[in-house]
């Protein structure tokens, strides 16, 4: 999942919300954790809020660096 695609989808919100949801939820939590540290705080929040299950949110938080976790919360 290229970071540029996610950033473009976030910049195009709310029009791109369905595509962002699909893009975020088709990747595993390891990939999402690597992605989060590259995004601005608002982007991190958008990615996290568009995850489709509590389990995936927990897994992403577990794998994410501390700074990103603090920005999301």
**DSSP state string for the chain:** --HHHHHHHHHTTTTTHHHHHHHHHTS-HHHHHHHHTTS-HHHHHHHHHT-S-HHHHHHHHHHS-HHHHHHH-
Q: What is the pTM of this model?
A: 0.85
Range of the domain at 51: 3-72
Between CA 61 and CA 40 the distance in angstroms is 16
Tally of domains in the chain: 1
Between CA 12 and CA 61 the distance in angstroms is 25
Q: Which two tokens stand for residue 43?
A: 């982007």
Q: Mind listing the pLDDT tens digit for each residue in 2-42?
A: 788 999 999 999 999 999 999 999 989 999 999 898 999 99
Does the CA dihedral 38-6-41-71 come out positive or negative? negative
């Amino acid at each position: 999942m290229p970071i540029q695609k996610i950033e473009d989808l976030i910049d195009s919100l709310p029009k791109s919300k369905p595509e962002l949801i699909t893009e975020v939820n088709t990747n595993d939590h390891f990939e999402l954790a690597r992605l989060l540290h590259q995004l601005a705080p608002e982007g991190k929040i958008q990615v996290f809020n568009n995850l489709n299950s509590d389990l995936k949110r927990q897994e992403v938080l577990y794998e994410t660096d501390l700074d990103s976790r603090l920005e999301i919360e």
